[in-house]
Amino acid sequence: MKYGKPLFLVLALALFGTAYGQKALPLASDTIVPEGTVAIDSLGFDIDYAQMAAVDEQEASEESGVDPAAVIFGHIIDAHSWHLFDYYDKEGNEHAIAIPLPVILINDGHVDAFWSSKFHHGHADYKGYRLVGGGAEKEEVVCVDEEGNLILDEEGNVVKPIDLSLSKIPAAIMIICVLLIVIVMVAKNGYKKRENQAPKGIQSLVEMLVVFVRDSIVRPMIGEKHYEKYLPYMLTLFFFIFFTNIMGLIPFFPAGANVTGNIAVTGILAFITFIITNLSGNKHYWIDIFNTPGVPAWLKIFPLMPLIEVVGVFTKPIVLMIRLFANMTAGHIVVLGLIVIIFIMSNALSVYVGGAMSVISVLFSVFISVLECLVAYIQAFVFTMLSALYIGMAVAEPAHEH
C-alpha cells in the first residue's frame, strides 16, 4: 500500500471544494412554506409535530394521496437536515424525524450558526431567518423581520444570507471520506500484520481494486513513463465515486444521500480533472490544439480546427460532469417512481389495483436496484478511465522521441 499517503492527501485536496461547491448553484424557488405549531425534541433529533397549515393544501393532498414530484425530488436533492422517516399519531397527524445539521449563515457582515432543528422543517423562524422550499423545490434560507414578513431589497427581491451550511450532501461526503480512510487504513494494517502472506478480508478487496485501476486504467491510458505521478488521484476518483454510488443505493442513514446525483459534486470532480489535464499538458499537447497535424492549411488559416480543439478542451470536463450526474440521478428517479406508482394507483383506482401493482413495482425496483449496482461500478470506471485518457493525451510525446 505505498499509495496510501498520497491517496489521503489527494482525497483531502480533491474533495475540499466538493463539500460546498453546490452552494454556488442558483436557488430554485422563493415559495414560502406556511408556519405551523411544532414541538422541540429532547434527544437531539428534529421531530416535527406540525399539522398542515393550509386547509386547501391538505384537501389536495387527500385527493391525490401522494405528490410524486415531492416524494421523488425530496429524496434526491439536498436538504438542511437528514430525514429519516415519518409516522402518524392516533389523531392522524404526521410526524417527521430527521437528524439536524449545522446551519451557517453570513448576513450583514456577521455570522449566525445554529442547528437546522430550530427551523422545525420550515414551520418556524429563527433569528430573523426562515427555511423555505423542500419537497420538489430546493431548500433555501431567506431573511424575515420580527413580524414574520419577508425582507425585500430595493429591487423587490427577497433578501437571502450567504448560506455555508453543512447540508445533507456535504455531510454525506464527509462520512464517505471517513469510511474510505478507515477502509484503506485497515487494509494497510493488514499488510503490516500479514507481511508476505496472501491478502485476507477487506485487504483483498482493496488490493484487487487498486491493482485493477493501476493496470487496467491508469497505466494503459497515461503510459509507463508518467502513470505513477497521477495514480493517487486516479485511485481517489475511482474509490470515491464507486463507494459514493454504492452508499447512495442503501436507503438508510448514514447512506442514502444522492451525492453523485448532485451536479455540483460531479462538476467539482470534472473541474479538478480539467485543471490537472491542462496544467500537465506539454508543448506537443498545445501545439496539436492550435496547429492540428494532418489538417488542410486553409482550415488552419481560417482557424476552424483550432477553434474546435479549444472548444473540445472545455467540453471534455462538461461531458464527464453530465454523464455521471445523469446516470446516477436517472437510476434513483426510476426506483422511486416505481414505488410511488403503487400509491397513485391505489388512490386513483382501488386498493386492490394498488396491491396488484405493488408486486410488479417491487419486482422491477429490485431489478433496477441490481442494475444500479452494476452502473455504480461502470460509472466509476468510465469517469476514471476518461480522466486518465485526457491526462494521457496531455502528457503524450511524439513516437520519434521514445
Mean pLDDT of 347-358: 80
Residue 99, CA atoms < 13 Å, CB-side half-sphere: 11
The answer to whether residue 19 is domain-embedded is: no
Counting residues of the chain whose pLDDT is more than 90, the rounded percentage is: 24
56 has pLDDT over 60:
no
Identify the weakest region by mean pLDDT among 96-105, 215-224, 297-306, 353-362.
Answer: 297-306
242, 387: one domain: yes
The answer to whether residue 275 is domain-embedded is: yes
Predicted confidence band at 300 (pLDDT cuts at 50, 70, 90)? low
pLDDT confidence of residue 147: 84
For residue 147, count CB atoms less than 10 angstroms from its CB and return exposed for 0-12, middle for 13-18, buried for 19 or more.
exposed
Query: Which amino acid does the sequence have at 33?
Result: V
Q: Which of 127, 159, 191 is the last residue of a domain?
A: 159
Query: Which amino acid does the sequence have at 379?
Result: Q
The answer to whether residue 129 is domain-embedded is: yes
The answer to whether residue 164 is domain-embedded is: no
220, 317: one domain: yes
Average pLDDT, the chain: 78
20 has pLDDT over 50:
no
139 has pLDDT over 90:
no
Q: Which residue has the higher pLDDT, 196 or 180?
A: 180
208, 334: one domain: yes
Residues shown for the chain: 402
| Residues spanned by the domain of 70 | 28-159
pLDDT confidence of residue 5: 52
146, 230: one domain: no
Alpha helices for 77-223 (secondary structure H): 168-193, 202-212, 219-222
pLDDT confidence of residue 3: 53
208, 153: one domain: no
Contact indicator for 241, 379 with CB cutoff of 8 Å: yes
228, 332: one domain: yes
pLDDT confidence of residue 274: 94
66 has pLDDT over 70:
no
385, 286: one domain: yes
Query: Which amino acid does the sequence have at 31?
Result: T
218, 321: one domain: yes
40 has pLDDT over 70:
no
218, 255: one domain: yes
Q: Which residues contact 342 (CB under 8 A, 6 or more apart)?
A: 354, 357, 358, 361
Number of domains in the chain: 2
The answer to whether residue 115 is domain-embedded is: yes
Identify the weakest region by mean pLDDT among 53-67, 160-174, 272-286, 310-324.
Answer: 53-67
Return the top range by mean pLDDT from 37-41, 102-106, 136-140: 102-106
Cis peptide before 317 (omega within 30 of 0): no
Give 192-227 pLDDT, tens digit per residue.
887 777 777 788 888 899 999 999 999 999 988 888
314, 381: one domain: yes
Give CA 60 to chain center in angstroms: 32
Q: Would you call 54 helix, strand, or coil by DSSP?
A: coil
pLDDT confidence of residue 78: 85
Counting residues of the chain whose pLDDT is more than 70, the rounded percentage is: 80
Contact indicator for 265, 173 with CB cutoff of 8 Å: yes
pLDDT confidence of residue 128: 87
Q: Which of 159, 193, 227 is the last residue of a domain?
A: 159
Mean pLDDT of 27-35: 37
Return the top range by mean pLDDT from 51-65, 176-190, 277-291: 176-190
223, 360: one domain: yes
Predicted confidence band at 65 (pLDDT cuts at 50, 70, 90)? low
**Cell numbers at 271, concatenated:** 473541474
Mean pLDDT of 19-23: 49
The answer to whether residue 332 is domain-embedded is: yes
Q: Which of 159, 186, 202 is the last residue of a domain?
A: 159
279, 334: one domain: yes
The answer to whether residue 49 is domain-embedded is: yes
Transcribe 235-279 into DSSP letters: HHHHHHHHHHHHHHHS-STTS---STTSHHHHHHHHHHHHHHHHH
Give 86-125 pLDDT, tens digit per residue.
777 777 777 778 888 999 999 888 899 989 888 887 788 8
The answer to whether residue 21 is domain-embedded is: no
